[in-house]
Structures are given as C-alpha cells and as structure tokens.
Amino acid sequence: MLQLDNPVRVRPEARQQILETLQANKIPDDYGLRIGVRGGGCGSSWLLGFDLPSSADEVYNVEDVRVIIDRKHLLYVLGAEIGYETGGFTIEKAGENQL
C-alpha cells in the first residue's frame, strides 16, 4: 500500500547508486534526489537529478535517500519507482503504457 510518507519507491540498486554518487561527488547533505515531470509539446517526461529543496517542495526520506518533490508534481509522481540499470536510472509508474 502506498503511503504519503513514501510517495515513491527506490529500488535497492538505485539506492546504492544514489548514495555512491552523493559520496563520490562530495554532494552536501542538504541536497537530495529531485523527482518530477517536465512538460513538453507532445506530453511530459521525467525529471531526475540532485538539487536543494525550496519552499515549494516536499522532502521525504525513502530508503535513506532524501527525495525532493515539488508540490505541483506530487500527484504525477505518486507511485513512481526509481530503478537503476547499466547506463542510468529508470523511472516507472504503475499503469503507465498500459491499456
């Protein structure tokens, strides 16, 4: 069951990669992993990167990863699952690309 305490899920392989990246790049503790959506001409795409929270954000601790979500994006990212495969991060959302 999805709880607002954990609006997204971070898979173990993604968690490990995120924590290693933060440490290897000496990114300060007040930064976190921002997840959101970016609008486009024909739809939207996922936004994922390290950032500082602002007053418009909600900050969550998911699997020891500080996750930052803009309140305007919360509805769109709710239930997303962050993974990692060779070559980069993946984001999947239940029901996406299903008819």
Say if 26 falls within a structural domain: yes
**pLDDT number for residue 24:** 96
What is the number of domains present in the chain?
A: 1
Do residues 61 and 67 make contact, with C-beta atoms less than 8 angstroms apart? yes
CB 58 within 8 A of CB 71: yes
Domain extent for 82: 9-93
Asked whether residue 98 is domain-assigned, the answer is no
Whether 52 maps to a domain, the answer reads yes
Q: Identify the CATH number of the domain in which residue 63 sits.
A: 2.60.300.12
Q: Is the pLDDT of residue 54 over 60?
A: yes
The encoded tokens of residue 87 equal 């070559």
- Angle, alpha carbons 89-91-92 (nearest 5°): 145
For residue 47, being part of any structural domain is answered with: yes
- Whether 38 has a pLDDT exceeding 60, the answer reads yes
| Average pLDDT over every residue of 7-35 | 95
Domain for residue 33, yes or no?
yes
**Would you state the pLDDT for residue 23?**
95
For residue 4, being part of any structural domain is answered with: no
pLDDT digits (tens, 9 = 90+) for 25-37: 999 999 999 999 9
Instruction: Please give the model's pTM, rounded to 2 decimal places.
Output: 0.85
| CA–CA distances in Å: residue 88 to residues 10, 14, 21, 63 | 14, 9, 12, 19
Residue 10, token pair as written in the block: 């971070």
Flag whether 42 is in a domain.
Answer: yes
The answer to whether residue 99 is domain-embedded is no
